[in-house]
């Protein structure tokens, strides 16, 4: 697995409302087959009324980087896990693309993160105690992608909000 470095870890450490979680996963925008697997880890924070609950976990289980080309659509399989002994409802789940990096983990200013977009989860999901659910996140790539974006890795930061079921 790849280490995204301390700069990306700081990006993940944003405050998330409710019993939530965030995870970073890599997406390739590439023409040849991608060579880099996904990297994921979780961090979370709580809010009043749910502070006794453990944060739910988000794990990108797509199996590796997804090859994307200009104008294409792809999908990420995301597993949501409930470590609590009560039902929870994941109210929302979103993913935000970060600044793409090259094979040496350097940011590429000629390639904006906005060429990649991820549709948020549109329906809340209930997760039983100690259970898990898989959802699909749809990823779209702009038709107009600068040449500087070829063979880059786009980190995705997942975040979500849950409440008691």
User: What distances in angstroms separate CA 119 from CA 2, 34, 56, 83, 84, one per listed residue?
Assistant: 25, 22, 20, 26, 27
The per-residue pLDDT for 80 is 94
The per-residue pLDDT for 51 is 67
Residue 93 to residue 162: CA distance in whole angstroms: 9
Q: How far apart are the first and last CA of the chain?
A: 34
Q: What is the CATH number of domain 5-164?
A: 2.60.40
The per-residue pLDDT for 49 is 57
Q: Which residues are within 8 A (CB) of 134 and not within 5 positions of it... i.e. 6 or more apart?
A: 61, 77, 78, 79, 80
User: Cα 102 to chain center, whole Å?
Assistant: 19
Residue 127 to residue 100: CA distance in whole angstroms: 33
List, run by run, the mean pLDDT of 10-residue segments along the chain (165 residues).
43 35 46 35 46 84 77 90 92 89 86 92 94 94 89 85 85
- b/e map of 62-89 (b: 16 or more CB within 10 Å)? beebbebeeeeebebebebbbebeeebe
The per-residue pLDDT for 120 is 93
């Amino acid at each position: 697995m790849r280490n995204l470095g301390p700069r990306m870890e700081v990006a993940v450490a944003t405050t998330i409302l409710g019993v939530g979680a965030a995870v970073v996963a890599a997406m390739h925008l590439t023409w040849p087959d991608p060579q880099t697997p996904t990297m994921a880890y979780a961090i979370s924070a709580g809010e009043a009324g749910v502070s006794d609950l453990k944060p739910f976990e988000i794990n990108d289980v797509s199996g590796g980087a997804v090859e994307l080309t200009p104008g294409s659509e792809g999908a990420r399989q995301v597993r949501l896990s409930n470590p609590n002994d009560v039902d929870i409802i994941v109210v929302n789940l979103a993913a935000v693309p970060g600044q793409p990096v090259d094979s040496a983990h350097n940011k590429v200013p000629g390639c904006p993160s906005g060429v990649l977009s991820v549709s948020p989860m549109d329906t809340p999901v209930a997760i039983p105690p100690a259970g898990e659910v898989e959802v699909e996140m749809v990823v779209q790539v702009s038709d107009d992608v600068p040449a500087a974006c070829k063979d880059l890795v786009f980190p995705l930061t997942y975040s979500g909000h849950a409440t008691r079921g």
